[in-house]
Amino acid sequence: MIRGCPLFGGGWAFKDWANPEGSPPGDRGSFNFSGFVGGGQAGCDYQFAGAWVVGIQGMFDGADMNGDVIDSHNSNFDLTTRINWFATVTGRLGYAVLPNLLLYGGGGAAWVGDHDVELFLGSPSAAGNVTRNGWVALAGLEWMFAPNWSLFVQYDYMDFGTHTDPLFFVDGSGPHTFDIKQNVQAAVVGINFRFGGPALGARY
């Protein structure tokens, strides 16, 4: 059955900066940061063998998550990040522990869009917009409270590993590269509507 929904919640992220070309090279600092997320998802599910549900879904969220750290080798530099969005494509497998209550988990591919800036004495020195890719694992609980309508809560853990990302200087020269390790977590609440009416003998 095809479904779609709006969703909203909160997000948390961790980021570690290292500069392989610096003087001296090495770790530049790490930080945790958080903010609001909101967007939507769409998917398709199939209920089988009584209480089992298998499906696939895509999710896109805008984000307002900002953080920064002072460069551990030079306090004149401040490394800042803004996460603008993230997206996932996942499969899920669930079991209806009650006729109207589904417990599920899943995983798949994830992407995140960041705006990274290196500040020198409070002014931008280098910046870049970067899209990273990685993997996601998720778990959730979905409650069917009316025909075709359900409420769900879901937790996502997205890991983007370590990527070498370019930042271009304000005069257009560069790039100036950093090795950045990152993960993002999100806890969201949403309402699903299932199109086409419930299938015979199935709710999800």
Domain positions in the chain: 2-194
Looking at the DSSP bridge assignments, the partners of residue 135 are 109, 159
The mean per-residue pLDDT over the stretch 95-108 comes to 95
In the chain, how long is the greatest CA-to-CA distance?
67
Between the CA of residue 74 and those of 20, 42, 45, 94, 165, what are the distances in Å? 15, 46, 52, 50, 20
What confidence tier does 55 reach under pLDDT thresholds 50, 70, 90?
very high
Among the listed residues 204, 116, 112, 115, the one whose alpha carbon sits nearest the alpha carbon of residue 157 = 112
Among 71-80, 103-112, 135-144, the minimum mean pLDDT is found in 71-80
Residue entry with tokens 């998720």: 138
Residue 160 CA to residue 164 CA, distance in Å, equals 11
Residue entry with tokens 């990152």: 182
CATH number of the domain located at residue range(s) 2-194 in this protein: 2.40.160.20
Summarised one tens digit per residue, pLDDT across range 148-176 is: 899 999 999 999 999 998 889 888 777 88
Residue 73 carries which DSSP code?
Answer: S
Give the whole-number percent of the chain exceeding pLDDT 70. Answer: 93
Residue 200 CA to residue 204 CA, distance in Å, equals 11
Per-residue pLDDT, 73: 83
Asked if pLDDT for residue 99 goes beyond 50, the answer is yes
Asked if pLDDT for residue 23 goes beyond 60, the answer is no
The mean per-residue pLDDT over the stretch 120-134 comes to 91
Q: Who has greater pLDDT, 77 or 199?
A: 77
Using an 8 Å Cβ cutoff, are 156 and 186 in contact?
yes
Between the CA of residue 107 and those of 15, 55, 145, 162, what are the distances in Å? 22, 11, 26, 20
Residue 15 CA to residue 21 CA, distance in Å, equals 19
Per-residue pLDDT, 4: 76
Per-residue pLDDT, 22: 62
Per-residue pLDDT, 200: 39
What confidence tier does 40 reach under pLDDT thresholds 50, 70, 90?
very high
